[in-house]
Amino acid sequence: MTQAHPADHTPLAEAVAALMPRAKDELAELVAYRSVADPRQFPVSECEKAATWVADALRAEGFADVAVLDTPDGTQSVYGRLAGPEGAPTVLLYAHYDVQPPLDEAAWVSPPFELTERDGRWYGRGAADCKGGFLMHLIALRALRAEGGVPVTVKVIVEGSEEQGTGGLQRYAEAHPELLTADAIVIGDTGNFRVGLPTVTATLRGMTMLEVGVRTLGGNLHSGQFGGAAPDALAALIRMLDSLRDETGATVVRGLEEQAQQTWEGLQYDEATFRADAKVLDGVGLTGTGTIADRIWARPAVTVLGIDCPPVVGATPSVQAEAKALVSLRVPPGLDAAKAEEALTAHLTEAAPWGALVEVTPRGQGQAFRADTDSPAYAAMAEAMGVAYPGEELQIAGQGGSIPLCNTLATLYPEAEILLIGLSEPDAQIHAVNESVSPQELERLSLAEALFLRGYAAGKRG
């Protein structure tokens, strides 16, 4: 059950509130699909079913030209168009239905693919990132239809491989540039700085992801018989990965020294709040230098995502012949992701000790993004957020995550105004176990989006 808000007396707010029980049921249906866009982990049919669900939902809302698009990376995105009044502006609404893997399912308090209400939040993989984002769009449009109609032409695009970063939708959009043309674009895949503080994201770090393999021997060797002289591939890999950070824990990739000193001038992130949001254990220090905002929004950041090596249980006393790691580098605005990938590849290769053989394979890439915050669409969103969040002013923040499609859209449609909002505030714990969404945030942001569409249309008419 949602809480009452000061804006609840308005008809549009009442319409949004009345839609929330239905939205919960629908989000539960959508969360139930294990739509991880990696066939090595989950059947492709799970993503296909989720895409079909999204397409059916758009058709039920009166969308025309609804299509499940087969994109070049082998995944599917869903498109639909809802015609508005003659002469009305066009607004593109974006979300994605694919999700991160659930990680350790035993660590979830409730099953990851079963929407569960607990302590005032709805738990489930994708509840915030970003199946909830699609429901946010639906609620906003339904509320507008209930209160006089949708005042703009709406296009919706729901991506099927955003989390994998394999670029299917980007390449499809580049091949069909007329499909997603719009005057304004609302990306529903970021989040408020904290619950209850309306926030638009102005920058996104891009990302490059590399798989690095190391080989030193023709096969594993007995550590007692050969250890001490035989080159250990796992030890070599550890040295290579360690070279990516200095003594403070800051990222140090050769060739990216200038970007490693960039600063963030906007909204700042209090260190104590960050420690609480990140659930840093007592006594453990933070990594890097500069402000928290510098580190997470303005500078490159490397993360070792996984290592292939023998698990502790069942390991034998052997010198390892080969080892492998998956490494990501978050790329700040102003740095080309391809150049960052080249620098990271060169750094890892040059850091290999003992002449170890290194093979680096790219696994994904997305460019950073910076929005124009002085556009009329931002003014309309600020006004809408002020109604949906009484007493709060719109904040503009950065985001450490990546949404590869943003730069593609900015390049294809340079006149379009792009705004980023969403449900992934810190308590949502996206990409971690026990991901959740705040139903209050879903309600407020749905109202804000509906008000924005009204205000943006009125501004264009004026």
Pairing verdict, β 417-420 and 184-187:
parallel
Cα–Cα distance, 187 to 423 (Å, whole number): 11
Which one is catalytic: 26, 98, 322, 417?
98
Residues 138, 129: contact at Cβ < 8 Å? Answer: no
Q: Confirm whether 98 is a catalytic residue.
A: yes
Which one is catalytic: 61, 159, 162, 189?
162
Residues involved in catalysis: 98, 162
